[in-house]
Amino acid sequence: MSATNLLDFDLDGLTNWFANQGEKPFRARQVARWIHQAGVSRFDDMSDLAKSLREKLNRLAVVEPPRMLSEQIASDGTRKWLLDVGSKNGVETVFIPETNRGTLCISSQVGCALDCSFCSTGKQGFNRNLSVAEIIGQLWWANHTLTSDSSDERPITNVVMMGMGEPLANYQNLIPALRLMLDDHAWGLSRRRVTVSTSGLVPAMDQLREDCPVALAVSLHAPNDALRNELVPINRKYPLAQLMAACQRYLDRAPRDFITFEYIMLAGINDQPAHARELIELVRDVPCKFNLIPFNPFPGSDYRRSTAETVQRFQSLLTTAGLVATIRKTRGDDIDAACGQLAGRVQDKTRRTVHKLEKVA
């Protein structure tokens, strides 16, 4: 019988697992704190556990995050890790340090099946969903590495599910991972500091609102259905009217009183004044803020980045209409760690591309 990876359980799951081993619920809380707060992976180092329990855990369980394959550090301090998730697949995780916070960008899938036309991850095809251990293991690994490299006891203050993959398409494993991020016996992050980014899977947005409402970011990228159908193909199934209604519903339970709309600025495609005016009308009834993102080129892409002047003009039109609109500062682009550039290493099961970009960090 193979050992059970305890990173695969949120606190309820860990409590049930310990109960099945004849152990009391408080043992699960103890072990959760050792794993997620102290960053301990060896049961023999969990000093307040009885020796007999440590011996039992050594026989039955492991704490096994994904193994690091490579690391890159950008000129601005952004760090990117390529992590091994088996079968010649690798996912990328990015840490962005700022003055008052540190944000970790976590992947949820090996590749992505949604095939957004401007995204490097989508062009790799799709292999599989990540397990809970592979999702939360990215946080475990990054925190372990960062605390080892500095005296900062809490280098990661914010988490965004905005790496490789569509988080809501891996809902079953996303929810336990989110609960670990929020649990005071694990990571203890505020709901306001954990963000799920989605391309607009409306039924899953409604389910997230019920199960684990955290901050929500929506990859919008177009002001009308015709254009969004081209850029974000899932729009053909859940068009903008349905998406805007889902955003309004989500706000009833969201930890923030607004939805963040991510908007990639593509030269001559979605960056004109007419597009800005359409956006203003589209979100008229949705409390929101816009994050305007300069496009980050990748091999094989036909898109170009909008000029700084075009982006600023677009921002001005939105703010003049009373909307909050910021321009995202590009971070880590010299190591392909910026938004839309994560590619990892994907053995494509969708066969969407004949020549896969085996792009290793």
Q: List the catalytic residues.
A: 92, 339
Give the C-alpha separation, 260 to 145, whole Å.
30
The Cα 322–Cα 130 span in angstroms is 40
Token readout for 148 is 């080892």
Contact partners, residue 47, CB within 8 Å, separation at least 6: none
Token match 């949705």: residue?
A: 286
Give the strand order in the sheet containing 324-327: 67-73, 79-84, 90-97, 102-105, 158-161, 194-198, 215-219, 259-265, 288-294, 324-327
Which amino acid would we find at residue 84? D
CA-CA distance, 215 to 251, in Å (whole number)? 9
Q: What is the distance between the alpha carbons of residues 78 and 234, in angstroms, rounded to a whole number?
A: 31
* Tokens encoding 266: 């593509």
Q: What's the token pair of residue 321?
A: 């209409």
Q: Which residues neighbour 315 within 8 Å (Cβ) at sequence distance 6 or greater?
A: 290, 292, 325, 326, 327
Give the separation between CA 142 and CA 155, rounded to whole angstroms: 9
